[in-house]
């Protein structure tokens, strides 16, 4: 009975903002995603470029730009993004810093798609326990929102190239921020990603050796599968489906599929923590399970917590408390000590 109510609660929560998610057209915009690429006319042409990007081990490496331009004031940090887009607001990265008074550890948080506010409770909770929390705005979110937009439609959409560009921009922004934190003297830097933010945090952890711990909430490997099957992305599937099938979408967004980078999560100096929802209709449990299996096959040993709730009801007691306590233990424990929780 309780779980039936919980499922209905999740469905009501999923309907919020749904009116603003409009069906659009499939757009390639290959030049946004792949350096030096010209616009393409077919799905196959786009997929060939995506194959090349996936084979490039430096695709998510920063361009080696200047570290100048960081400005910190009154608990806020801002700096220029190394990717310039046609939305001026999106080209400046904003982050809220909740300091702990210690330089032992910093936790960088990437929120979920269409997040409307940062989470002061999480920031206060961990900062009071000696962990400085940095909540960064992903592309087209918070201070970086596109003027006039009702949600972060440029971050994830039926525009294949812009979606890749946006996730890549988020990874570059995050890595630039990590480098700044290290220069400020933080001994250990961890990342936390929630839902879409988990793809960003995961790709950063996979490619940046400065990350010692990564916590991924409500995650899976294939962004294409998540969009195709998820409750929150029905309008994107409706936009894509007349022109492209799931098999081609997987290939087109291959660089963003964390399963394709699973071997990178197995490096011995990275600890991995995952929180999953068994009743999730946004990131389906079978997609999460497939990713966990791929990680284990690659040699990674994720610390997994599965909760009997949905995507949105993870934010309700007792689930959010269980997830928070699990994260606290993970961040507090000695590096490279692993344990799987069922």
> What CATH code is carried by the domain that includes residue 216?
3.40.50.1820
- Does some domain include residue 33? yes
Global pTM reads 0.95
- Does some domain include residue 340? no
Among 166, 136, 168, which Cα is nearest to 153's?
Answer: 166
Report how far residue 175's alpha carbon sits from residue 263's, in angstroms, rounded to the nearest whole number: 19
Q: Strands 71-73 and 76-80: what pairing? A: antiparallel
Phi, psi (rounded to 5 degrees) for 319: -65, -45
Residue 153 three-state SS = coil
Mark 97-120 as b/e (b = at least 16 C-beta within 10 Å).
bbebeeeebbbbbbbbbbbeebbe
Please, what is the angle between helix 43-55 and helix 160-183, to 10°? 20
Structurally, the chain folds into a number of domains equal to 1
Among 52, 33, 54, 30, which Cα is nearest to 43's?
Answer: 30
- pLDDT recorded at residue 65: 61
- Does some domain include residue 111? yes
Cβ contact 63:35 at 8 Å: no
- Does some domain include residue 298? yes
318: preceding bond cis by omega (within 30 degrees): yes
Report how far residue 308's alpha carbon sits from residue 313's, in angstroms, rounded to the nearest whole number: 10
Report how far residue 228's alpha carbon sits from residue 249's, in angstroms, rounded to the nearest whole number: 9
- Does some domain include residue 32? yes
Report how far residue 41's alpha carbon sits from residue 31's, in angstroms, rounded to the nearest whole number: 12
- Does some domain include residue 327? yes
C-alpha atoms less than 13 angstroms from C-alpha of 11 in its C-beta half-sphere = 6
Cβ contact 33:164 at 8 Å: yes
- Does some domain include residue 338? no
**CA angle, 229 as apex, 52 and 26 as ends, to 5°?**
55
- Does some domain include residue 286? yes
- pLDDT recorded at residue 74: 96
Tell me the pLDDT of the chain (342 aa) as tens digits: 788 888 898 999 888 877 778 889 999 999 999 998 988 999 999 999 999 999 999 999 988 766 779 999 999 999 999 999 999 999 999 999 999 999 999 999 999 999 999 999 999 999 999 999 999 999 999 999 999 998 999 999 999 999 999 999 999 999 999 999 999 999 999 999 999 999 999 999 999 999 999 999 999 999 999 999 999 999 999 999 999 999 999 999 999 999 999 999 999 999 999 999 999 999 999 999 999 999 999 999 999 999 999 999 999 999 999 999 999 999 998 544 433 443
Give the structural domain span for 31: 2-332
- pLDDT recorded at residue 68: 77
């Amino acid at each position: 009975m309780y779980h039936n109510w919980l499922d209905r609660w999740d469905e009501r929560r999923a309907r919020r903002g749904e009116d603003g998610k409009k069906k659009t057209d499939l757009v390639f915009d290959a030049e946004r995603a792949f350096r030096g690429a010209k616009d393409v006319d077919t799905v196959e042409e786009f997929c060939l470029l995506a194959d090349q990007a996936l084979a490039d081990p430096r695709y998510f490496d920063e361009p080696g730009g200047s570290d100048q331009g960081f400005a910190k004031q009154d608990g806020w940090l801002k700096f220029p993004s190394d990717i310039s887009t046609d939305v001026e607001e999106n080209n400046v990265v904003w982050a809220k810093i909740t300091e702990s008074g210690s330089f032992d550890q910093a936790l960088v948080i990437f929120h979920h798609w269409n997040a409307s506010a940062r989470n002061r409770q999480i920031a206060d909770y961990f900062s009071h326990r000696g962990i400085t929390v940095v909540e960064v705005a992903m592309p087209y979110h918070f201070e970086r929102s596109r003027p006039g937009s009702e949600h972060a439609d440029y971050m994830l959409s039926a525009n294949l190239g812009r979606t890749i560009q946006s996730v890549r921009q988020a990874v570059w922004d995050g890595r630039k921020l990590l480098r700044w934190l290290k220069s400020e003297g933080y001994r250990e830097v961890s990342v936390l990603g929630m839902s879409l933010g988990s793809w960003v945090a995961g790709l950063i952890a996979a490619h940046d050796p400065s990350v010692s711990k990564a916590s991924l909430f409500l995650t899976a490997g294939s962004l294409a599968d998540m969009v195709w099957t998820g409750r929150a992305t029905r309008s994107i599937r409706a936009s894509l489906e007349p022109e492209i099938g799931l098999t081609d979408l997987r290939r087109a967004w291959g660089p963003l599929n964390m399963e394709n980078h699973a071997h990178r999560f197995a490096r011995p100096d990275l600890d991995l923590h995952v929180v999953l929802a068994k009743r999730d209709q946004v990131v389906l449990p079978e997609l999460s399970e497939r990713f966990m299996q791929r990680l284990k096959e690659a040699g990674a040993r994720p610390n997994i917590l599965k909760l009997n709730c949905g995507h949105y009801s993870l934010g309700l007691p007792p689930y959010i408390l269980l997830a928070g306590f699990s994260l606290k233990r993970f961040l507090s424990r000695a590096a490279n000590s692993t344990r799987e929780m069922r």
